[in-house]
Structure 1
Amino acid sequence: MLVALAFAAGQAQAFEWTLVRRVEQADVVSATYISQDLPVNPGGFIYTDDSATPVPFPANGPYAITGILGEIVNEMNESVPLSECYDHHWVIKRRGFQNAFCPDGPVYTFGVGAESRNTPVKFPRGYGYRMLDDDAYWGANIHLIRTQYLAGDDAAKAAKECNECYYAPGKGCLPRQNGTFSCCGDTSMAPGHCPLADDAPSVPAIYRLRYTVNYTDYAAVEPARVGVWTTPDCATYYQVLHNETHPEQLSSTSFTPPFDMEILLAIGHQHVGAINISLFVNDVFVCASYPTYGTDPNNTAGNEQGYLVKISYCYDKDDSPAPLVVRRNDTVRLDSWYWTSDDDPRIAPLPGGTHLNVMGYMFVLYSLL
C-alpha cells in the first residue's frame, strides 16, 4: 500500500518528531531521530511516499553531513529483527536531489535496507555533504514487510516469498506483476497482504525509522556529492532465476561518467542470495562489496539467521594508497552476482533458487574535479 504519512502545513501539530540523542564531540554533532509511527498488520506492508513523508534533519544554519546510520525499531525503541519485520529499504532524499549517474533510476541521498543497521555511511576525513538551507525538505520512502503469522507449513518459504514480492491472491496485485513492488506495497489496487494463517491476529505492530546524522561545520570540510549506479541498466530491481547448472548469475552494466570526479566512498547494496557486487574502471577491477549473512537461529536483531545483515565497503578513500579518479571518457562497470541453486547454506533456513525483486546498487560519494 502506498502510504502518505504526511500532513498539510496547517496540521503539523498532529505529529511530533522526537530527538532521542544529541552528543557533541569535538567539532562533530551526532543527532538521533525517531520517525512517526508506521503501523503494519501481520503479513502486511507499508511503502511510504517520500514526497509526502517528511523526516527531520538538523536545522541550525549551514552544516555538512559526515555520516548516517539507520534501522527499524519498535514503539519501545528496540531494534526489530528482520525475521519479524523485513526492512526492504528505507531511503531519504533532499527535495530537488537528482541522481546524476542514473537519471531514470533510483533517486535517493542516503539509505538503504536490511544491512543498514550494521553498515553505517562514514564520509572520508575532510569531506561532507554540505547543507546551506536549514529549511530544506527531506522525505522518506520506507518499505517494510511484516512476515508474522503467514500461511503454510514452511515458514521460511512463506517469508521468502513475502519479502521478495511474489504474487499471491489477496496481495493487491496481478499475476503479471509477480516480483514487482506492486506485490509488496506500492500498488494502486486495494491494499493487500501476504497469505495469512487462519488464526492470524489482525492487530498492527508499530515500527519506526531511527536514524543518526553526524554533522559538522559547513566550512570545515570539502564538499562531497552523492550518486548511485545500478544494474541492470539503472533498474530499481530485477530477478535472478533458479539455475542448478550455472548457479552464479551475473548482471553487468557499463556506464559513461557524466563528469570528471574522484570517488571518495563506494558501498554496495544487494539482497538475500547475493555473492558480491564489484566495480571496474576501464575493465580493471577496483573493488567489491561482500555481504554478511546472519547466523543466529534465535534471530537476534543484527544477526538474523539466513538474512543479509551487513555489506562491506567497496572503496574508502581513507584506506586507499592513491586517489580513485574517473574521467568522462572512462568506462565504469558494475557486476552484481547472485547464487541461484537450491543449495545455498549461507541463507538457510530461507530457501535458495529463484530470487525476485533483488537489487544491484553501488552508492558513491564523490567530488568534482
Structure 2
Amino acid sequence: MRRIFLSMMLLFGVLLLLILSVQISESVFSEVNGEKSSVFLTPKFVLGAGSVCNKYYHNVDFPRGHIALKDFNAEIVDESGSSVPLYETYIHHWVILRYYAPKDTDTNKERDSGKMIMVRNSGFCKNLGQYFGFGSETRRTMTRVPDPYGIEVGNPAEIPDGYEERWLINLHAIDLRGVEDQFGCTECKCDLYNVTKDEYGTPLKLGYTGGLKCCYDKTQCRVREGFRNIKRGVYLKYTVKWVDWEETILPVKIYVFDVTYTAKRGSDSESPCKIEYDVEACDRTSAGIDTICVDNKKTSLVLPNGGYVIYGVAHQHSAGIGSALYGQDGRLICTSLPVYGDGNEAGNEDGNIVGMSTCYPQPGSVKIFDGETLVLESNYRSIEKHTGVMGYFYILVADQLARPSRREIYKLEILKYTWLLVLMGVVAAIGAVFSFLRKDEKYGGYQLLGI
C-alpha cells in the first residue's frame, strides 16, 4: 500500500512539473475587437546572489506579418510565473530591437554571418535603436499607442528578398539577494564588482568608478558574508498587443533621445551616444546645509523632419527626479516624472523608480516643426554621487493627424445645419421686431384694452 502511495505521489509530481513547464513555455494568445495580444517568455536564465545577466536573445517569439504594434510591456517572473520584486532581481534595462536576417540562417549563427540588417528607430543614436525599452519602471509605465495610430512593422515591401523580419531582446538584470549594498550594485559601482577591466579586457579609464563597464554579463556584486546562495531560474515575460495593418491606421515614427548626445548641426546626426553618465555630489558645505542639490543636464538636438507628438516618456534611474523636452521657442513638449515605490510588493518596491509618467497630447496640440532645435533636460538629486545613470526620452511622432470618421463628419454636418437654422430663426425674429416697430410708428402705437 505504501509503495502504491509513493508511486502515485511520484507520478503526481512528474505531472505537476510537466504542467508547469508547459505553462511557462507556451505563449498565451487572445483577441478582443480585432486587437490581438500574446504573452511570451525569453529563454530561462539562472541567477545566484549578486550575479549579473546581460543576455542577447536573437529571433525571439514575436507576432508575424504586416501589423501595427499597439502596446508592449515586460517584467521578470520566476519559474512558477510569479512576479519577482526589484529587491530580488533588479531590471537595469531591457530593450527589443528589430532586424532582418536571411531566411535560411540559423539563429545561433546569424550574428556571425555578417548578414544581419538592423532596422533602427528614427532617433539619432546608433547604439539606441530599440523599438521599446525600459528598466525598473517597466511595470507601471504606460506604453499604449493611441488609436488610430500604430507602429508599422512587417511590411513585405520593405523586407529585402530572401530575408525575414526578426526580433532581438537585450536583457540586463542583477540579482540583489544578499548583497552588501543594493543601491551600489544597481549603480554598478566598480569596487563592489571588483572589476578593473571591461568585458573585452580593456583596462578602465582613470576616474571610471561605476557604470555598464563594471556590471557586464557574469560579473558578481559583493554578497554579505555567510549569506546562503540559492540559484534560481527566471524569465523576462513580455506582452505584445497589435492589430493587422490597414490603410486607416496612421504610422508613427519612434525617436529615442539621450541627454548625453553631443553632435552639432552639420555633423554626423547619427553619432553614438554615451548611454550613461555620472552625477557628481554637490558641495553643501559652501552652498549651505539647506541647499537643494539637483544635477541638471541638458543637450540640444535638431529634428530634420517634424510632426505631431502622439506620446512621450522618459527613462531614468533611482535618484532621478524628472525629465523634460522643450521646443526651440521654450514651449514644453512633454514632462515625464518618476513614480517611487513605498512598499514590498512587485511593482511598488520601496525606494525604486517603479513607473514614469507619460504624455498623451490632444491630437494636433503639440507639433515639432521641420528642422526645429529641441532641448532635452534630465534632473537627478545630487546630495551624493551617482554612477551610470541614464537620461533618455522616447517620443512617437505622426506625420499627419487622424481624419474625422464618418460618424464625426455626420455630427459636424448636423451641428452646422443646426446653427444655420438658429441663425435663420434669429434673422426672422429681428425682422418681425423691426416690422412691429415700423407698424407701431405708422399708427401711433397700440392702445391697451380696457383703459
TM-score clears 0.5: yes
Q: Equivalent of 2:276, from 237, 243, 249?
A: 237
Q: Is 2:81 the partner of 1:77? A: yes
Q: Give how far 1:173 is off.
A: 3.7
Q: Tell me: CA distance 1:127–1:17, structure 2 relative to 1, closer, same or farther (3 Å).
A: farther
The residue correspondences of 1:1-369 to structure 2 (distance < 5 A) are 18-49=25-56, 52-59=57-64, 61-95=65-99, 96-132=118-154, 135-151=164-180, 158-168=181-191, 171-174=194-197, 176=205, 177-186=208-217, 191-219=218-246, 220-233=248-261, 234-243=273-282, 244=284, 245=287, 247-282=293-328, 283-296=330-343, 299-313=344-358, 315-317=359-361, 320=362, 322-341=364-383, 353-368=384-399
Q: Give how far 1:321 is off.
A: 5.8
Q: Tell me: CA distance 1:24–1:100, structure 2 relative to 1, closer, same or farther (3 Å).
A: closer
CA deviation profile, 1:122-175 (whole Å, cap 9, x unmatched): 002101111225841100110001111124xxxxxx001111010126544446
Q: Give how far 1:259 is off.
A: 1.4
CA deviation profile, 1:277-319 (whole Å, cap 9, x unmatched): 00100122222101110111xx210111100001100x214xx
Structure 2 SS opposite 1:68: strand
Tell me if the contact between 2:98 and 2:166 (Cα under 8 Å) persists in the aligned partners.
yes
Amino acid at match of 2:277: Y
Which 5+ residue runs of structure 2 have no aligned equivalent? 1-21, 100-117, 157-163, 198-203, 262-272, 401-451
Q: 2-side partners of 1:104 and 1:122: how far apart?
A: 25
Q: Tell me: CA distance 1:85–1:17, structure 2 relative to 1, closer, same or farther (3 Å).
A: closer
Q: 2-side partners of 1:110 and 1:324: how far apart?
A: 22
Q: Which is worse superposed, 18-27 or 174-183?
A: 174-183
Q: Tell me: CA distance 1:321–1:224, structure 2 relative to 1, closer, same or farther (3 Å).
A: closer
Structure 2 SS opposite 1:331: strand
Q: Tell me: CA distance 1:170–1:362, structure 2 relative to 1, closer, same or farther (3 Å).
A: closer
Q: How many residues align?
A: 326
CA deviation profile, 1:81-105 (whole Å, cap 9, x unmatched): 1111111101000012224322334
Return the index of the structure with the highest Cα Rg.
Answer: 2
Q: 2-side partners of 1:159 and 1:23: how far apart?
A: 38
Which 5+ residue runs of structure 1 have no aligned equivalent? 1-14, 152-157, 342-352
Q: Give how far 1:260 is off.
A: 2.7
TM-score, with normalisation over the residues of structure 1?
A: 0.83
Q: Which is worse superposed, 164-173 or 262-271?
A: 164-173
Q: 2-side partners of 1:225 and 1:145: how far apart?
A: 32
Structure 2 SS opposite 1:168: helix
Q: 2-side partners of 1:197 and 1:250: how far apart?
A: 35
Tell me if the contact between 1:261 and 1:325 (Cα under 8 Å) persists in the aligned partners.
yes
TM-score, with normalisation over the residues of structure 2?
A: 0.68
Tell me if the contact between 1:171 and 1:184 (Cα under 8 Å) persists in the aligned partners.
no
Amino acid at match of 1:123: V
Query: What RMSD in Å do the two structures reach over aligned CA positions?
Result: 2.2
Amino acid at match of 1:238: Y
Q: 2-side partners of 1:17 and 1:306: how far apart?
A: 30
Q: 1-side partners of 2:259 and 2:127: how far apart?
A: 10
**Which structure: greater strand fraction?**
1
Q: Tell me: CA distance 1:119–1:19, structure 2 relative to 1, closer, same or farther (3 Å).
A: farther
Q: Tell me: CA distance 1:204–1:111, structure 2 relative to 1, closer, same or farther (3 Å).
A: same
Amino acid at match of 1:111: G
Structure 1 residue aligned with 2:432: none
Q: 2-side partners of 1:72 and 1:169: how far apart?
A: 24
**Which structure: greater helix fraction?**
2
Tell me if the contact between 1:109 and 1:226 (Cα under 8 Å) persists in the aligned partners.
yes
Tell me if the contact between 2:77 and 2:236 (Cα under 8 Å) persists in the aligned partners.
yes
Q: Which is worse superposed, 325-334 or 137-146?
A: 325-334
